[in-house]
Amino acid sequence: MLGNVSSNNEINNIKNNLHLLRAIDNNDIKSLKQLIKNANDTNCILNINVKSVNGIYPLLFAVRNDNIEIINLLINYANNNNVILNINEKDNYGSYPVLLAIERNNIEIIKLLINYANKNNIILNVNEEDLNDVTFTSIDILKLLVHYGYEHNLNFKYGKLSKENKDLSEKKKSFFEIINDNS
């Protein structure tokens, strides 16, 4: 008998995971809110870090869709249920939330990710090689990243963004030089 209960729970979890991924991928806020309500009503924790066959997970779907409301719903759900969002996880294509938000030129999402990371003592993976391939179209995004890197002593491709060491590459402009040129 317990085997059936376990199997039923597993089936329900799989169904919830599929509904969750589908709702977020389709920007279906109403369905997402209903899933969250049902989970809360039944004391069930949604797997908000579940991955699709391509390794894409709810937060990454929401960033890809530039859906700030869904990102806020996921963050609030995570905070209310003591779940840590996988904000640094790469999908099968090498994308991760902050890189995708940078590529999509969405400063509001970058700010949300930075705030979430700071509140949860998570250092965002800002891969220096990935940033090397990004064309920054917004000086504000660049300034935000420099500030984040400076505060967290992160290394970027064109120089170490830290309070102690500002050695810069001679071959390419650093983030600091770009910002100074545009100040």
What are the structural domains of the chain? Answer: 1-107 (1.25.40.20), 126-183 (no CATH)
Q: How far apart are CA 72 and CA 62, in angstroms?
A: 10
> What pLDDT score does 11 carry?
61
Tell me, rounded to whole angstroms, the distance of Cα 50 from its chain centroid.
Answer: 14
Q: How far apart are CA 49 and CA 58, in angstroms?
A: 6
Q: Read off the pLDDT of residues 147-170 as tens digits, 9 standing for 90 and up.
A: 888 888 876 544 333 333 344 333
Query: Residue length, the chain?
Result: 183
Closest by Cα among 97, 167, 110 to 140: 110
pTM of the model: 0.80
Residue 48 pLDDT > 50: yes
Q: How far apart are CA 71 and CA 63, in angstroms?
A: 7
Q: Read off the pLDDT of residues 83-135 as tens digits, 9 standing for 90 and up.
A: 999 999 999 999 999 999 988 999 999 999 999 999 999 999 876 666 666 66
